[in-house]
Amino acid sequence: MSRLCLLLLLSLPAGAQQSRGVIINHPTLADHGRVDGRIYSNNSLGLTYELPDGFFVNSNADDSMSGANVLLMVADQHTDRPWKNRLVMVATDAAQFAWTTEKFVAEFVTKIPAKLHVVVRRDTYRLEVGGEEFYRVDYQKTDEGKTLYESFICVRQKGFFISWTFVSLSAEEIDQIASSIKTVSFH
């Protein structure tokens, strides 16, 4: 049965493939990680991360991703606004790109559809967390008439670009929730 599911997934167009359990170039990343309380851990990627206060894993989130991407986790935080704050963690096969982590982060923003009217609030910059080199870019975009503030933070680890995208309707809250990146540790 699992072999049939794998064949069906591989026959779908790249944009329609489900990311859970299928990575063509890195079959060992069947480990999407786990969350215990507020602690996300992933042994395959060798990392742990503490979710920001008030965030909970959203197991109902759409987990479809394109070829080189694997959705690791989606977490939400209730707010007094119509939209929740959101955190999305993704692992992207770094072998698909001849880019540094800095270039990967800079290119990420340029790939957001123009209809979302992206404005970079702070260009790509380096930060160090747990002895590793991370890169971050802050931007805003307009979606369904609402201005969303986002931070995209990424590190290259074990052949993957591991990224966190933090989203909020509040410019003030985005920095607060994105600061949770300081809790990442590698093992």
Domain boundaries, the chain: 2-186
Between the alpha carbon of residue 149 and those of residues 12, 39, 118, 143, 166, the distances in Å are 33, 24, 10, 11, 8
Q: Are strands 119-129 and 85-93 parallel, antiparallel or unpaired?
A: unpaired
Give the CA radius of gyration of the chain.
16
CA-nearest of 70, 64, 18 to 44 is: 70
pLDDT of 93 strictly over 50: yes
pTM of the model: 0.82
Q: What is the pLDDT of residue 26?
A: 43
Q: What percent of the chain has pLDDT over 70?
A: 82
State the architecture of 2-186 in CATH terms.
3-Layer(aba) Sandwich (3.40)
Q: What is the pLDDT of residue 16?
A: 31
* pLDDT tens digits for range 99-135: 999 999 999 999 999 999 999 999 999 999 989 999 9
